[in-house]
Amino acid sequence: MNANPLQVRFEQAFTTLGVEAAPEDFAALDSRYQEPHRAYHNWRHISECLGELDDQTGNGVMEIAIFYHDAIYNTKGKENEEQSAKMCADVLSKKGVSQAVIYQAQDLILATRHVNIPRNEQEAAIIDIDLSILGRDPQRFQEYERNIRQEYGWAPIDAYRSGRKNILESFLGRAEQGSLYTLKKFRTKFERQAVSNLYWAIENLPQVN
């Protein structure tokens, strides 16, 4: 049987911290990322994020943060990142990882709330990585927009349009005021397409359920 490449990478990330990931650690994440309501926030998203990390000066803490940053995903919840950070911290704590490393992993996960200015290059990197979907090719981006609507399928169309427009315009506003992405690599790779995609999304918000 071929090994799951995501599980292999997950285990390797723990190894870099001097601890060992148990099969049940990955299984717990796997059950989360395969939840039926996840049209976008699933393993494909994690794989795309890890692909962007390959070109960064990453480390085990960054990889683990990426693995756990959407571990808890409830579209009606308000503390998904906080709960994801706690899940990650609980796993690392049980393995005897230092509190300093645990705090670092938690801070990286909490950075993906996209509400605060990154305090260091690692936080900037994980934020840019998480937002890389905005600058993908139009076909992938439009699939992403459909996936987000599917995840919020419970929301009435008018409420969804209003909320989604606010989010898209906030990202576009960051780009117009300077840059959507913090790190030069991501600005070069994604900024122009992201702006084009965001304009398209605002103009093509779903009209009916």
Task: Decide if 70 is inside a domain.
Answer: yes
- Predicted pLDDT at 59: 83
- Whether the pLDDT of residue 24 is over 70: the answer is yes
Residues 140 and 196 in one domain: yes
Last residue of a domain, one of 84, 116, 148: 116
Copy the structure tokens of residue 160: 């969804």
Question: The whole model's pTM is what?
Answer: 0.94
Task: Decide if 192 is inside a domain.
Answer: yes
Residues 96 and 21 in one domain: yes
**Residue 61 carries which side chain, given as an amino acid letter?**
V
Task: Decide if 79 is inside a domain.
Answer: yes
Residues 161 and 197 in one domain: yes
DSSP labels for the chain?
-PPPHHHHHHHHHHHHTT----HHHHHHHHHHHT-TT-SSTTHHHHHHHHHHHTTS---HHHHHHHHHTTSS--TT-S-HHHHHHHHHHHHHHHTT--HHHHHHHHHHHHHTT--S--SSHHHHHHHHHHTGGGGS-HHHHHHHHHHHHHHTTTS-HHHHHHHHHHHHHHHHHHHHHT-S-SSHHHHHHHHHHHHHHHHHHHHT-----
Reported as a single tens digit per residue, the pLDDT across 43-100 is: 999 999 999 997 655 589 999 999 999 999 999 999 999 999 999 999 999 999 999 9
Residues 15 and 69 in one domain: yes
Residues 89 and 189 in one domain: no
Residues 155 and 187 in one domain: yes
- Whether the pLDDT of residue 22 is over 70: the answer is yes
Residues 9 and 34 in one domain: yes
- Whether the pLDDT of residue 150 is over 60: the answer is yes
Task: Decide if 109 is inside a domain.
Answer: yes
Task: Decide if 163 is inside a domain.
Answer: yes
Residues 154 and 112 in one domain: no
Count of the separate structural domains present in the chain: 2
Question: What is the domain extent for residue 197?
Answer: 133-203
Instruction: Using pLDDT thresholds of 50, 70 and 90, give the confidence band for residue 6.
Output: very high
Residues 11 and 108 in one domain: yes
**Residue 5 carries which side chain, given as an amino acid letter?**
P
Residues 42 and 69 in one domain: yes
Task: Decide if 123 is inside a domain.
Answer: no
Residues 107 and 70 in one domain: yes
Instruction: Using pLDDT thresholds of 50, 70 and 90, give the confidence band for residue 209.
Output: low
- Predicted pLDDT at 2: 59
Mean pLDDT calculated for residue range 18-29: 96
Reported as a single tens digit per residue, the pLDDT across 174-204 is: 999 999 999 999 999 999 999 999 999 999 9
Helix 157-177 vs helix 184-203: crossing angle, to nearest 10: 140
- Predicted pLDDT at 58: 55
Chain length of the chain: 209
Mean pLDDT calculated for residue range 123-136: 97
Task: Decide if 122 is inside a domain.
Answer: no
Task: Decide if 126 is inside a domain.
Answer: no
- Please give the mean pLDDT across all residues of the chain: 94
- Predicted pLDDT at 142: 97
Report the C-alpha gap between 178 and 172 in whole angstroms.
Answer: 10
* Cβ-Cβ contacts under 8 Å for 41 (sequence gap 6 or more): 33, 70, 73, 151
